[in-house]
Amino acid sequence: MSWCCCNSVCTSSSRQLLATSDLSSIPSRVSNAGLKQKRSLRGVPKVFAYYGLKTPPYKLDALEPYMSQKMLEVHWGEHHCGYVEALNKQLEKNDMLYGCTMDELIKVTYNNGNPLPEFGVAAQVWNHDFFWESMKPGGGDMPKLGLLQLIEKDFGSFTNFKEKFIEAALTLFGSGWIWLVLNREEKRLAIIKTSNAVNPLVWNDIPLIGLDLWEHAYYLDYKNDKANYVNVFMNHLVSWDAALGRMARAQAFVNLGEPKIPVA
Amino acid sequence: MAATASANSLTSTFLPRQGVYGSSHQSIQLRTQKFARKAGSGTITAKFELQPPPYPMDALEPHMSSRTFEFHWGKHHRAYVDNLNKQINGTELDGKTLEDLILVTYNKGAPLPAFNNAAQAWNHQFFWESMKPNGGGEPSGELLELINRDFGSYDTFVKEFKAAAATQFGSGWAWLAYKPEEKKLAVVKTPNAENPLVLGYTPLLTIDVWEHAYYLDFQNRRPDYISIFMEKLVSWEAVSSRLKAATA
């Protein structure tokens, strides 16, 4: 069954799920999975896992004037919410996929390039979470410390990186995303374009920044002027703090400092 | 001093212009290619031109706003045509008809750079002509017979067409097409710039489901857009006329 676009107005129930779950001690921003207990006729509780809609780490008007409140209301409140609801609906029919973390779910449903029906919505849920966290009010400027060093090492200069990133964004055709990733195998940074819902997790790379280039991400504010949107993202929205944090965490998995020891 | 040779009119499967703009043309003319001869250099360059939709930009209100047309036709469609011209200028692709260009640059599934612009230029022209003011309603005549034969009923066809349009993930198009080999109608959905020409089918009707086609009017409510398209915008005349040309 192919992916179905969610046409129902997003209900408030999915946004309130985390508040009413048994895991109320966990800050709702961190947990992306909730558990609900339902008593069957025999009184034995059945447990259903589901995903909840995370709120962006800032108010919906916080990115004005670069990304309007209206834009966020529709993008987060309708599209992102719609993906979450569609995912939960699809998972209802497939208990094989229950209980996965989002990362696992994406890799499993990607199915090595032959995606299962749940992949599109699952990946889009993750992608949008990542996107909100790739931005911040008063964003832009430059990365600092180790991340800046890495960018300079792998791209020559920050300016060169920025140029390449923008060029990649402008040459992406159709719907998709642009990512700055840490390539696990090559142990270097890279800029990656993906179509539709695909994200670098499927290749086991570590994303640091994600930019939504589906038209719904910018149309209300920028109409067809994609170049303006991408430049504004780089100059005023991108959260290098978030990227630095992700980079630091990535170093627990990728050893960047290891010297090359020649084998005799 | 550039002397412009007379326009080379191309036959295509698009419907004759009529109605709003006055006289109807005998020949079906979609694209005019102007051949400009530069004095002294002997170069001939063909340029595709952006044609306006066959109705004023506010004629489809309130179902498709003139604001949408301002951007969709005035910016998106225009950019595809302009960029296509830049891409083919002076290359061996210069001078081909748009349909030939699409097939050549599709390159059996490994598309060349000009494919996206060529196909999108064609797709959008086809799309404007798939709609008309006070459109919608139901098909009739031979078209309705074929729909009933190949889908069971008109309602089943509508359901299938709407589902294809709604489930095309990301950007793309949904089509009613005629398969010449099987002599049957089919509903097809294509991603990004692809169209049924590359599959060897004859397109009869299309709906643009790139988000830019409906975002200003409907935001994320794609199913509403699709329903309005079917109920108020489709030009069954255009579809019938294309079917006639395909089965002639």
Instruction: State pLDDT tens for residues B194-240.
Output: 999 999 999 999 999 999 999 999 999 999 999 999 999 999 999 99
User: Using a CB-CB distance cutoff of 8 angstroms, which residues of chain A are in contact with residue B211?
Assistant: 175, 214-216, 219
Q: Which of B219, B225, B227 to probe the A interface (max A CBs under 10 A)? A: B219
pLDDT digits (tens, 9 = 90+) for A192-232: 999 999 999 999 999 999 999 999 999 999 999 999 999 99
CA distance A4 to B117: 28
Contacts of A5 in chain B (CB under 8 A): 166-167, 220, 222-223
Q: Which residues of A236-250 are buried (b: 16+ CB within 10 A; e: fewer)?
A: bbbbbebbbebbeeb
Sequence-distant (6+) residues with CB within 8 A of B152 are none
Gap between the terminal Cα atoms of chain B: 44
Q: What are the backbone dihedrals phi and psi of residue B45, each rounded to the nearest 5 degrees, phi first?
A: -120, 135
Q: What does pTM read for this prediction? A: 0.83
**pLDDT exceeds 80 at position A261:** no
Cross-chain residue pair B192–A223, CB shorter than 8 Å? no
- Does residue A65 have a cis bond before it (omega within 30 degrees)? yes
Q: Which of A21-35, B22-36, B220-234 has the highest mean pLDDT?
A: B220-234
Using a CB-CB distance cutoff of 8 angstroms, which residues of chain B are in contact with residue A7? 166, 221-224
Residue (of B80, B83, B75) closest to B57 by Cα position? B75
Euclidean distance between CA atoms B108 and B141, whole angstroms: 36
Q: Residue A264 — very low, low, confident or very high, per pLDDT cuts 50/70/90?
A: confident
CA distance B144 to B159: 15
* A53-77 residue pLDDT tens: 999 999 999 999 999 999 999 999 9
Q: Closest-CA residue in chain B for A176?
A: B170
Whether the per-residue pLDDT at A40 is higher than 50: the answer is no
Using CA atoms, how far apart are residues A200 and B124, in angstroms rounded to an integer?
Answer: 33
- Nearest one of B68, B15, B51 to B124, comparing CA atoms: B51
- Biggest CA-to-CA distance, chain A: 69
Spell B62-86 as b/e; 16+ CB within 10 A means b: ebbbeebbebbbeebbbebbebbbe
Chain B residue with minimal CA distance to A77?
B220
Q: Which of A2, A78, A214 sits opposite B211 (nearest CB)?
A: A214
Of A4, A74, A197, Cβ closest to residue B219: A74
Q: Is the pLDDT of residue B243 over 50?
A: yes
pLDDT of residue B7: 37
Provide, rounded to the nearest whole percent, the portion of chain B with pLDDT above 90. Answer: 81
The pLDDT of A95-99, averaged and rounded, is 76
Q: Which of A5, A174, A223 minimises the CB distance to B192?
A: A174
Q: Which of A80, A85, A175 to mutate to test the interface with B (most CBs of B within 10 A)?
A: A175
Query: ipTM of this predicted complex?
Result: 0.82
pLDDT value of residue A49: 58
Which one, of A195, A215, A210, lies nearest residue A242 by Cα?
A210
Eight-class DSSP state of B212: G
